[in-house]
Amino acid sequence: MKHLILIQCKDRVGLVYLITHILSKHNLNITAMREFVDESDKHFFTRIEFSGELQSEQSLQNELKEHLPDGTSITINPKPEKKIALLVTKEHHCLGDTLVRHFFDTLNAKVCCVIGNYDDLRPFTERFGIPFYYISHLEKTKEDFEGEILTVLKSHQPDYLVLAKFMRILSPGFIDHFPNQIINIHHSFLPAFIGANPYRKAFERGVKLIGATAHFVTNDLDEGPIIEQQTIPVNHTFGVPEMVTSGREIEKSVLSRAMQLVFQDRVFINGNKTIVFE
Amino acid sequence: MKHLILIQCKDRVGLVYLITHILSKHNLNITAMREFVDESDKHFFTRIEFSGELQSEQSLQNELKEHLPDGTSITINPKPEKKIALLVTKEHHCLGDTLVRHFFDTLNAKVCCVIGNYDDLRPFTERFGIPFYYISHLEKTKEDFEGEILTVLKSHQPDYLVLAKFMRILSPGFIDHFPNQIINIHHSFLPAFIGANPYRKAFERGVKLIGATAHFVTNDLDEGPIIEQQTIPVNHTFGVPEMVTSGREIEKSVLSRAMQLVFQDRVFINGNKTIVFE
Amino acid sequence: MKHLILIQCKDRVGLVYLITHILSKHNLNITAMREFVDESDKHFFTRIEFSGELQSEQSLQNELKEHLPDGTSITINPKPEKKIALLVTKEHHCLGDTLVRHFFDTLNAKVCCVIGNYDDLRPFTERFGIPFYYISHLEKTKEDFEGEILTVLKSHQPDYLVLAKFMRILSPGFIDHFPNQIINIHHSFLPAFIGANPYRKAFERGVKLIGATAHFVTNDLDEGPIIEQQTIPVNHTFGVPEMVTSGREIEKSVLSRAMQLVFQDRVFINGNKTIVFE
Amino acid sequence: MKHLILIQCKDRVGLVYLITHILSKHNLNITAMREFVDESDKHFFTRIEFSGELQSEQSLQNELKEHLPDGTSITINPKPEKKIALLVTKEHHCLGDTLVRHFFDTLNAKVCCVIGNYDDLRPFTERFGIPFYYISHLEKTKEDFEGEILTVLKSHQPDYLVLAKFMRILSPGFIDHFPNQIINIHHSFLPAFIGANPYRKAFERGVKLIGATAHFVTNDLDEGPIIEQQTIPVNHTFGVPEMVTSGREIEKSVLSRAMQLVFQDRVFINGNKTIVFE
């Protein structure tokens, strides 16, 4: 039997030994282990894959809790397949890539629904038998708009929301419902070109590369913990449309990589940074 | 005989034909040609390598001038080996890389001198028989500091200044002496992390890639036309020192690439952008 | 009106002038031009985008033919949207990526059918309303197998066949029906790991990067003209399955890039090499 | 006090616990730990950085040996600065890069001498005060040639030989003197283009990327364990000379990266593969 444990706590001497000792007492064999200490705030993170007969997750959890520092967070065998909801506007490339991966069971997640503030992507979504909810932001307050989205989400209970090119800024109130559970793809190498129209800004600045960033959403616009970033070269022949076209390729690549890492429980959040055990 | 011509002018119908026609009349054979029209300001740029017996550069220049739009800039057979001065502070990697390329004749330029606002890099520089001028910025006004640098530069008459990790900001007055002739290497993927301590800022932001940018220096800090940019991945294990160490590799790579492109007359400047005919 | 012309011929002095002269006489304005001379066999290639009123493609063609060397190949305004047939086996990632691009009209081609030597990919294909033909290679001769494929292809008349992870080797007789019209994706950076099981070979050799290659198919296995190649890093933790999973990402990327280049008429073939005017 | 321990042995259940337990008993605190099990031959590898008062390396070694499987290899606090000899022919770029890193103390190694089978690189080498030995391979047997090299090497006792573009094939007898101690840089992405003239072969094949490989030297030509590989894109405009010029950049980059990894004791060898704990 394969198992996974995630631990984060204040750092102190001997943590690796302590944890491996407890696993050993339970006759559990470590098959892969990654650990990291953030020296700036003395925080310890570890992700351990192990095998063996685990009699009781609860008793292992209790034993670890007893010996580890106060405030330690321990997760044993997190849900292997996350349930996710996708929020979209009109751009199709991230949705398309995600639903194909989903169809062929390579997403490490179950897409429970797609919500669009335009109806454009309904035909594609429904082709895969996934419910599509069209919730326009027009002619209503942001509160009402987000309220309608929340109603849909409550009925589906997703583990994560993925903003797959969702072009509306969510309110703090909305985001508070999903702490560390919202993943966004931003079409620039943050912190360059925060906010709207990054390709236009990139064009006007005359940069020689463009990028994409997947990050958790917090209440600071485009300032949440970064999960993954990539760039590709551009040159003087690229107008905004060419940047948009080329940019789509890395947006897809960065978002799918970020989802894979998060859904495989390889990403820890520490303040506005991530620890990624690839 | 191989020749090179650089032309930039207002765009209009038939420029490529017009230019190739004139070259053809002179029995000159085009071996490589690159052209670009910036549609936003209707500007035309071309770089043509050609071969044949060129009787008189002046008469070819005159004939082209006559038929091309007013304000056309034409350069026939630019100086093949540029003369450059390097400005440095204490960091050695860009200087080291540049002087080794110079020693083995792969720089496409002649280094006439190195000017440092610290004396640290003198031993390395002198090992290659290149004059090193130590001009401290301490205990003097910026005007005096830059005046001393200008005096040295006047004696050497370089075609380009290369700021090879020169950590002082030059005044507009100084820069005006060298329009489009100063190349800087900045240790971030601009426009992210403009100004001082980009690696510290990158660390604090938790980015997953770091970069370097070579650009022409104008009077807007880190806002001049970008010549070349590259990024490399980093992860949560990188502190500031690790970013600095890894960053050096792309700083060297980006600066040497930018110098190669500029010194081979492959770079046109148009406003705050470059056209690079690689 | 925008137009495109492709010319390849023996090189001689003055070709660029000659061609631009003729276009100019027809009041056609060059908007983008790329040319290349292969010095090893003195062959000239050009791709010219131009605008203006083109009275008669035929008369332009005739005029060019008259002045250009014997054996010149001239194509004016090639079919803008190619018709393609996809051949697949069981692996879904290239097919998935291609059909999504097709659905959203970003493929620069029309997929007329998918042919599989297994039936596995039928449900996905039919979800997009595209005909799927299941032609097993089992219990029949290669000749019969290929004959059945040819019958389907004859009914669709595709411009290109794309082997989107088609795991059968096609016979010379079959390939002869589609000269320079078959694109294959091979899951290694050719010429390393020609033939079957490249990821296993890569694993056994302990390489630190894996790659993918898109190439035209000729009668030399994996030896046809290469269109596009990319690599990604791997490390000692990658077994064969992890290489397969990571490799899929670049296989998709390389194949879609190659199709885009070919379908936009940016690729010339010269012997066993390609000239790619990106 | 910071320490480093390297262990490789047959895998069995509980090794991580066992080792961390022993370190813990000695009041040593693990600050970074990497481990890997090669499942194909059930071999375990770990690299542990730890801090604390280490009373006796010998007693720690003994205690580990006692509890670990027979045949375990344990290295505690390997020599922090390796002594290396460089072997060169005429190409300067790898030598130039290495000696500059050496001069500025960023090589993690001490260059004790340079041996060239041509005298061309003597002036550069001696500029840095490093002994240069010119040992021609001409007009003598390979045995005599290698004998002369061995004599020089015996007088310097280097920990590693670095073949920095040394264009002679060394005999098995020679290589046997330096098991796992010779690092070579090969100018292709192995296993493509094994042997001589890889750039010419790459040109003739029409590849779209070229590469470089650093590997340990064994008695199979270009078949030793690979440490690091990189590729860069090329296109149809690259002749052999342009490939050589571009290739130099990654040859330098790959070799310096490989040296850094080896000299920091981050590389284990297992058969014809490496485990690299970056």
The per-residue pLDDT for A220 is 82
Kindly list the residues from chain B whose CB atom is less than 8 angstroms away from the CB atom of residue C24.
14, 17
Which chain C residues have a beta carbon less than 8 Å from that of A100? 96-97, 100
pLDDT per residue as tens digits for the range C227-245: 999 999 999 999 999 999 9
Q: Is residue B31 located within the same domain as residue B164? A: no
**How far away is chain A from the Cα of C141, in angstroms, using its nearest Cα?**
32
CB atoms within 10 A of CB A141: 9
Interface test mutation site (partner A, options B208, B227, B230, B275, max chain A beta carbons within 10 A): B208
d(C-alpha A242, C-alpha D42), whole Å: 50
C128 neighbourhood in chain A, CB within 8 Å:
127
- Give the nearest partner residue to D192 out of C191, C228, C239, using CB atoms: C191
Q: Is C175 helix (H, G, I), strand (E, B) or coil?
A: helix
Q: What is the pLDDT of residues C248-275, one digit of tens each?
A: 999 999 999 999 999 999 999 999 999 9
- Domain at D56, CATH number: 3.30.70.260
- C35 contacts B29? CB cut-off 8 A: no
In order along chain D (278 residues), what is the average pLDDT of each group of 10 residues?
95 91 91 91 95 93 96 96 98 98 96 98 97 98 98 98 97 96 95 91 96 94 92 96 96 98 98 95
- How does pLDDT run across C160-177, given as a tens digit for each residue? 999 999 999 999 999 999
Residue of A nearest to B229 (CA): A208
The string of pLDDT tens digits covering residues A178-216 is 999 999 999 999 999 988 899 999 999 999 999 999 999
Q: pLDDT per residue over C102-146, tens digit each? A: 999 999 999 999 999 999 999 999 999 999 999 999 999 999 999
Using pLDDT thresholds of 50, 70 and 90, give the confidence band for residue B143: very high
- Determine contact: B92 vs chain D, CB below 8 A: yes
% chain B with pLDDT above 90? 91
Q: Which residues of D touch C235 (CB under 8 A)?
A: 276, 278
Asked if residue A116 and residue A70 are part of one domain, the reply reads no
Q: What is the pLDDT of residue B13?
A: 86
Query: Is the confidence at residue B220, as pLDDT, over 90?
Result: no
Answer yes or no: do C184 and C53 share one domain: no
CB contact (8 A) between residue D30 and residue A17: yes
B22 and B61 in a single domain? The answer is yes
A119/chain B closest Cα distance in angstroms: 34
DSSP string over D92-125: -HHHHHHHHHHHTT-SSEEEEEEEESSSTTHHHH
CA-nearest residue to D21 within chain A is: A17
Exactly one of A119, A120, A144, A222 is catalytic; name it.
A222
Does the beta carbon of B276 lie under 8 angstroms from any beta carbon of chain C?
A: no
- Smallest CA–CA separation between D96 and chain B, in Å? 6
Which residues of B fall within a CB distance of 8 Å from A211? 189, 209, 231
The 10s digit of each residue's pLDDT in A124-174 is: 999 999 999 999 999 999 999 999 999 999 999 999 999 999 999 999 999
Q: Where are the beta strands (DSSP E) in C117-177?
A: 132-134, 160-163
Q: Is the peptide bond before B191 cis (omega within 30 degrees of 0)?
A: yes
Q: Which of C13, C16, C38, C275 to mutate to test the interface with B (most CBs of B within 10 A)?
A: C16
pLDDT at C219 over 90: no
Residue C222, pLDDT > 90, answer no
Domain boundary among D45, D76, D107: D76
pLDDT for B161 equals: 98
Considering only the beta carbons, identify the residue of C36, C209, C236 that sits closest to D273.
C236
* Contact with chain B for residue D124, Cβ under 8 A: yes
The residue out of D18, D48, D76 marking a domain boundary is: D76
Are B30 and C17 in contact (CB < 8 Å)? yes
C21:B21 CB<8 A? yes
Give yes or no for a contact between C154 and C181, defined as CB atoms under 8 angstroms apart.
Answer: no
Residues of C in contact with A103 (CB under 8 A): 96, 124
- Which neighbouring-strand residues pair with B10? B43
Q: Which of C20, C22, C27, C48 to mutate to test the interface with B (most CBs of B within 10 A)?
A: C20
Least confident range of B11-15, B168-172, C73-77, D230-234: B11-15
Both C220 and C248 in one domain: the answer is: yes
Instruction: Express each pLDDT in B77-120 by its tens digit.
Output: 999 999 999 999 999 999 999 999 999 999 999 999 999 999 99
Reply yes or no: is the peptide bond before residue D158 cis, omega within 30 of 0: no
Cα–Cα distance, A206 to A235 (Å, whole number): 8
Cβ contacts (< 8 Å) between D106 and chain B: which residues?
Answer: 93, 245
Which residues lie closer than 8 Å to A51 by C-beta, 6 or more apart?
Answer: A1, A2, A3, A28, A29, A31
B245 and B140 within one domain: yes
The set of catalytic residues of C is 222
**From the CA of B90, how many Å to the nearest CA of chain D?**
11
pLDDT exceeds 80 at position C221: no
pLDDT for the residue A6: 98
Same domain assignment for residues B31 and B148: no
**Beta carbons of B39 and A209 less than 8 Å apart:** no
Closest by Cα among A151, A142, A11, A141 to A72: A11
Q: How far apart are CA B227 and CA B254, in angstroms?
A: 9
Chain D residues close to C209, C-beta within 8 Å: 189, 211, 229-231
Residue of B nearest to A40 (CA): B239
Distance CA A25, CA A21 (A): 6
| Best CA proximity match to B64, nearest among B77, B73, B51 | B73
- Residue B225: DSSP 8-state: P
Give the number of domains in chain B. Answer: 2
pLDDT at B257: 97
Nearest CA-CA distance, residue B234 and chain D, Å: 12
CB-based contact, C96 to chain A, within 8 Å: yes
Look at residue B1 and tell me whether its pLDDT is greater than 90. Answer: no
Q: Which residues contact D118 (CB under 8 A, 6 or more apart)?
A: D89, D90, D134, D136
- The answer on C210 and C128 residing in a single domain is yes
The CATH number of the domain holding residue B259 is 3.40.50.170
* DSSP tag of A236: T
Whether A22 has its CB under 8 Å from any CB of chain D: the answer is: no
Task: Provide the residue range defining the domain that includes A105.
Answer: 82-276
Cβ atoms of residues D261 and D42 within 8 Å: no
Query: Any chain B CB within 8 A of the CB of C13?
Result: yes
Pick from A263-267, C51-55, D217-221 the range whose average pLDDT is largest: A263-267
At which of C26, C48, C76 does a domain end?
A: C76
**Residue A175 to residues A179, A215, D222, Cα–Cα distance (Å):** 7, 14, 56
pLDDT over threshold 80, residue C206: yes
**Contact C235/B at CB under 8 A:** no
| Mean pLDDT computed over every residue of chain A | 95
Contact indicator for A5, A29 with CB cutoff of 8 Å? no
Does residue C105 belong to the interface with chain A, where contact is any CB pair within 8 Å? no
Same domain, B188 and B94: yes
Task: Find, in chain D, the residue whose alpha carbon is nearest to that of C258.
Answer: D208
Query: Which residue of chain A has the CA closest to C250?
Result: A253
Catalytic residues of D: 222
- Give the DSSP letter string of D174-240: HHHTSTTTEEEEESSSTTTT-SS-HHHHHHHHT-SEEEEEEEE--SSTT-SPEEEEEEEE--TT--H
Task: Say which of D96, D106, D253 has its CB closest to residue B100.
Answer: D96
Q: Do C16 and C36 touch, CB atoms closer than 8 A? A: no
CB of A228 less than 8 A from some CB of B: yes
Residue C29 near chain B (CB below 8 Å): yes
Q: How far apart are CA B44 and CA A277, in angstroms?
A: 50
Task: Tell me what pLDDT residue D277 has.
Answer: 96
Q: Are C48 and C33 in contact (CB under 8 A)?
A: yes
Whether residues C208 and D190 touch (CB distance < 8 A) is answered with no
Q: What is the ipTM of this complex?
A: 0.93
Q: Could you tell me if D136 and D260 lie in one domain?
A: yes
Q: What is the mean predicted confidence (pLDDT) over C25-41? A: 91
pLDDT given at position A223: 86
In whole angstroms, give the CA distance from residue A178 to residue C132.
Answer: 43
Residue with structure tokens 């411009």? C159
- D21 in A contact zone (CB under 8 Å): yes
User: Do B137 and B244 fall within a single domain?
Assistant: yes
Number of residues that this document lists for chain B? 278
Q: Would you call A209 and B191 a contact, using CB atoms and an 8 Å cutoff?
A: no
**Domain match, D121 and D258 both:** yes
Check pLDDT > 80 for residue B221.
Answer: no
